[in-house]
């Protein structure tokens, strides 16, 4: 086999595929629908939520040229061949962004993910990517999973889906959140192969600063835009109590240094105050979850300008995920009980809060993505909610620096910004529940200047 592989490699080098090249997508290129996008699209008579303000604009026009917003205002004129969308006074807003998504883990059950056919799981992920886009989420930050191939398929127009900021495999420690190995696979030594999850690129186990550096560099080599570590216990994993802190300070610092060398950052899964503080002290820029942190730790986070990537983990959405009485169900209940306090602390200390959902193993829960966003009305105004999922989340994405896979501004309706847009049938600043039913209320969905849904178009 080695000789055959060597011959094949030599043939590839000797005969590069140049006669019939397949153009690789540029960093800003997104999916093309079946029909080529027009050179210009004019949204006429729309009221704009720009991703930054507290109110809608007066009725106006927005001109999209190529994949960017070219002009805003009554003087925004289109060429004769432009497609015109008559807004009828409806709301035009930026595409939504989910800052905590697992594109490969939404639809399979845990059993399918661990033991099932990988090709089937990939096809499920592709179908879910299209469904995600049609719910109005034009961008996701994937915080753990082998989503590189899915991203490539979307960017290469193989299938419609959102822009993906990939983390690659989430990095954990032995017994940590994300270590799904069986006891029979221990102890880890050179005589045993990688676990199933590691072979798939879903999680990677690292138990020293040097191993952490290696795992981080591997994900960056594969195309990660940021790095995800699990700094404390988790709900779904079988071997990780919630109260534990996992990575040592030296291991966390090794990850931060390796990511910073590539101009990007580390985000850490952590629920408790010790886990959150240890991550912050190591230079981590974003904390995922934090439902169990105390008041002093929230202030500590605010004083150091660290982001909170929060999710409405409440009974309405996450109840019933695990068998009653199971250890996972008990851990889930503890986390859900901390969500209300978390958002209170976020408001008290004016934390930089990103919106995400953390949907796992449930296509039915994924369909509630918009409802999860609207549920923030318990803590925030409609304008604050929409800003979190648009302009604020877009600001979070810029932490990836030059590792950002798409070049251009997202999350805003501004001249020169990328044209990811939603036409909403109504005013979501007056009725945030409009985002709960995207199938009915999102009449037009555009990503990268291309229309993927237009309920106003006549057959």
Residues 143 and 102 sit within 8 Å (Cβ to Cβ): yes
Dihedral through CA 441, CA 443, CA 445, CA 446, nearest 10?
A: -140
The C-alpha atoms of residue 3 and residue 367 are separated, in whole angstroms, by 50
| Contact of 35 with 51, CB cutoff 8 Å | no
Q: How far apart are CA 153 and CA 389, in angstroms?
A: 25
Tell me whether strands 60-65 and 68-72 are parallel, antiparallel or unpaired: antiparallel
Edge-to-edge strands, sheet with 96-101: 96-101, 137-142, 163-166
The predicted-structure confidence for 181-210, as pLDDT tens digits, reads as follows 878 778 877 667 788 888 888 999 999 999
- Identify the bridge partners of residue 31 per DSSP, sorted by sequence position: none
Q: How many CB atoms lie within 10 A of CB 88?
A: 13
In angstroms, the CA 148 to CA 138 distance is: 17
Comma-separated ranges of CATH 2.30.40.10 domains in the chain: 40-95+411-454
C-alpha neighbours within 13 Å on the C-beta side of residue 356? 27
CA distance 206 to 31: 35
Rounded to an integer, what is the distance from CA 180 to the centroid of its chain?
22
- Beta strands 60-65 and 266-272 are unpaired
φ and ψ at 298, to 5 degrees?
Answer: -60, -45
What's the pLDDT at 47? 97
Which homologous superfamily is 40-95+411-454 in?
Urease, subunit C, domain 1 (2.30.40.10)
Instruction: List the chain residues with pLDDT less than 50.
Output: 1-32, 34-35
**How far lies 404's CA from each of 8, 115, 220, 437, in Å?**
34, 33, 12, 30
**Can you tell me which residue has the tokens 């592709």?**
126
**Phi, then psi, of 65 in degrees rounded to 5:** -120, 120
3-class DSSP assignment, residue 411: coil
d(CA 283, CA 410): 26
CB atoms within 10 A of CB 178: 25
CB 145 within 8 Å of CB 102: yes
Whether the Cβ atoms of residue 227 and residue 206 lie closer than 8 Å to each other:
no
pLDDT of residue 188: 77
- CA of residue 20 relative to chain centroid, distance: 34
SS3 32: coil
Q: Which two tokens stand for residue 424?
A: 């909403």
Rg (C-alpha) for the chain, rounded Å, is 22
User: Is residue 332 classed as helix, strand or coil in its secondary structure?
Assistant: helix
Determine if the pTM surpasses 0.85.
yes
Determine if the peptide bond prior to 10 is cis (ω within 30°): no
| CATH number belonging to the domain at 96-379, selected among 3.50.40.10, 3.40.630.30, 3.20.20.140, 1.20.120.80 | 3.20.20.140
Contacts with 404 (C-beta within 8 Å, 6 or more apart), sequence order = 27, 165, 225, 397, 398
Cα–Cα distance, 280 to 278 (Å, whole number): 6
CA distance 100 to 307: 13
Tokens of 341: 């306090």
**Which tens digits make up the pLDDT trace of 203-247?**
999 999 999 999 999 999 999 999 999 999 999 888 889 999 999
**Given the DSSP bridges, would you call strands 421-424 and 91-94 parallel, antiparallel or unpaired?**
antiparallel
Give CATH 3.20.20.140 domain extents, the chain.
Answer: 96-379
């Amino acid at each position: 086999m080695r000789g055959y592989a060597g011959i094949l490699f030599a043939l590839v080098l000797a005969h590069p595929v140049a006669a019939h090249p397949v153009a690789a997508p540029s960093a800003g290129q997104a999916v093309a629908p079946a029909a080529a996008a027009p050179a210009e699209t004019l949204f006429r008579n729309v009221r704009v939520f720009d991703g930054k303000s507290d109110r809608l604009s007066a009725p106006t026009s927005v001109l999209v040229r190529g994949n960017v917003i070219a002009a805003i205002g009554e003087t925004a004129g289109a060429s004769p061949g432009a497609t015109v969308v008559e807004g009828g006074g409806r709301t035009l807003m930026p595409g939504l962004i989910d800052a905590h998504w697992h594109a490969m883990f939404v639809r399979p059950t845990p059993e399918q993910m661990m033991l099932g056919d990988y090709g089937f799981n990939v096809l499920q992920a592709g179908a879910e990517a299209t469904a995600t886009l049609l719910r109005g989420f034009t961008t996701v930050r994937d915080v753990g999973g082998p989503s590189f191939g899915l991203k490539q398929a979307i960017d290469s127009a193989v299938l419609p889906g959102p822009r993906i900021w990939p983390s690659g495999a989430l990095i954990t420690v032995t017994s940590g959140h994300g270590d799904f190995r069986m006891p029979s696979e221990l102890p880890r030594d050179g005589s045993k192969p990688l676990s199933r999850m590691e072979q798939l690129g879903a999680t990677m186990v690292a138990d020293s600063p040097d191993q952490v550096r290696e795992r981080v560099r591997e994900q960056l080599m594969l195309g990660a835009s940021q790095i995800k570590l699990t700094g404390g216990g988790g709900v779904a994993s079988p071997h990780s109590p919630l109260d534990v802190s996992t990575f040592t300070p030296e291991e966390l610092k090794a990850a931060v240094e390796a990511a910073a060398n590539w101009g990007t950052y580390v985000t850490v899964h952590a629920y408790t105050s010790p886990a959150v503080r240890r991550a912050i002290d190591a230079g981590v820029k974003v904390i995922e979850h934090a439902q169990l942190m105390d008041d002093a730790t929230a202030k500590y986070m605010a004083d150091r300008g660290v982001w909170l990537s929060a999710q409405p983990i409440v009974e309405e959405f996450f109840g019933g995920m695990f068998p009653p009485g199971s250890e996972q169900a008990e851990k889930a209940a503890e986390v859900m009980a901390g969500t209300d306090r978390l958002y209170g602390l976020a408001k008290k200390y004016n934390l930089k809060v990103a919106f995400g959902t953390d949907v796992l193993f449930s296509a039915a829960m994924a369909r509630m993505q918009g409802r999860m966003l609207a549920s923030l009305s318990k803590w925030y105004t409609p304008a604050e909610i929409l800003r979190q999922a648009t302009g604020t989340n877009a600001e979070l994405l810029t932490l990836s620096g030059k590792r950002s896979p798409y070049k251009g501004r997202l999350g805003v309706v501004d001249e020169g910004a990328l044209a990811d847009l939603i036409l909403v049938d109504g005013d979501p600043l007056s009725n945030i529940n409009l985002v709960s039913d995207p199938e009915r209320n999102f009449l037009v969905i555009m990503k990268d200047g291309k229309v993927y849904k237009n309920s106003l178009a006549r057959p």
